[in-house]
Amino acid sequence: MNTKEATERDAKILIEDTVMRSQYAKTEMCKMEPMSDNPAMMLIAVESDETNPEHDSCVEFQQENGLSKPYHIAMIPLVHKEDVVDCIDDVVRAMPIAKFDFIILAVEGYTRKFESDESREQAMNMEKGALEKEFRENPFTDVREAHVITAINWEGDTLWHTVTPYTYDDSGVPVWSETQADVNELTDDSDFGRIPNTLMAVVKFMRISLATSEYSDLLRKAKKEGR
């Protein structure tokens, strides 16, 4: 298995694990408080090593799930502002400049069945909140509530996207439909909507910041060595 294949396989495993955990958490929350929403979460997966106090747990998770390497996964709630994109912007500004393997974003959202690539593109270009507005105001709409997970790798060349629609039963507990999954190759011109575009910008920012930081370190090292 080459590096790209390993990355793709790891992403699939981590996303499926996130879907499972998110559905479990929402179901249990709704048993206590009917029709509760999951808070938006950002998960950052970084390769773990022995300097990490939780490394043994990361290795155990790797072995249990067949991952190519041990990942330490930081979970960051995105709840301090109403707009999740504003939350992401604040979190990224506070993050250390360092390499990661994946960013995974799990949010509550809305979806409809797309019959063609054209209808999918039209949906991506809809105004923020348009699907929610239709869901709440049109009793005959095909828009449904959904749990949406979007992931991107460090290279910024692949985007993973899953949508799991749900309804509520009479007790306010979610009834989950089948998860729909897409994998998309990215270019500089890719446009997959507001949140995916934000994650693409995060990767670009972090990669440039890390390269700049490494270059600055070389400049300082040269001065110390009298070159």
- In this prediction, residue 218 carries a pLDDT of 67
- In this prediction, residue 129 carries a pLDDT of 66
List, in sequence order, every residue forming a beta bridge with 102; answer none if it has no partner. Answer: 45, 153
Extract the tokens encoding 59. 């290795």
Q: What does DSSP assign to residue 143?
A: -
- In this prediction, residue 2 carries a pLDDT of 84
> In the structure, what pLDDT confidence band is assigned to residue 61 with cuts at 50, 70 and 90?
very high
Q: Is 79 helix (H, G, I), strand (E, B) or coil?
A: coil
- Report whether pLDDT(185) > 80: yes
List, in sequence order, every residue forming a beta bridge with 71; answer none if it has no partner. Answer: 47
pTM comes to 0.85
98 alpha-carbon distance from chain centroid: 18
What whole-number distance in Å separates Cα of residue 190 and Cα of residue 223?
A: 41
Q: Among positive and negative, which fits the CA dihedral 192, 176, 74, 5? A: negative
**pLDDT digits 0-9 by tens, 119-170:** 444 444 444 567 667 766 676 677 888 999 999 999 999 999 999 999 999 9
